[in-house]
Structure 1
């Protein structure tokens, strides 16, 4: 455990979970209800299905993007921490 209470492995797990959740959201299917032209309730229901599908796709994409961003942050942070540590070790010599 680090001073901040989170390790690179935990950050990587969180990023992976966000990407998995995003993929699951984008993978949801919303079967279209029948669309009789003369039925307002059926049209309203179809509109709800379309909006739900669009929202799931949009939110899934955002969640996957957040997971990707956190993973990039983790990679950069681990690399910069290692470089800083190497610099400190070198100064001790």
Structure 2
């Protein structure tokens, strides 16, 4: 067990979840439902909110996806480092 109490498989699952949820957030659509209210200040305000929400969810989704990719890379590098350390210890024991 690692110092952080997470196994490599748990870290990979966490990374995969962030990537999947990021893609879901990024795919949220706030657009065309408000397009029919020309001349209405309220509809125009709602459309502006929808545009801001779409932009924000896109950015937040991208950040989640990127965080998942970085954590997946961390898990990969940690596993390689652990394997190299174990091989070094094994070589030392064989002497």
What stretches of structure 2 of length at least 5 have no aligned partner?
none
Q: CA RMSD in A?
A: 1.2
Matched residue count? 92
**SS state at 2:31 partner:** coil
Deviation at 1:28, TM superposition (A): 1.0
Partner of 1:29: helix, strand, or coil? coil
In 2: Cα distance, 1:42 partner to 1:4 partner: 50
**TM-score (ref. length: structure 2):** 0.89
Runs of 4+ more than 6 Å apart: none
Cα contact 2:28–2:57 (8 A) shared by 1: yes
Distance 2:74 2:5 in 1: 17
Q: TM-score, normalised by structure 1?
A: 0.91
Structure 1: tracts of 5 or more residues without a match? none
1:32-55 per-residue CA deviation (whole Å, 9 max, x = no partner) reads: 31341x322111111000001101
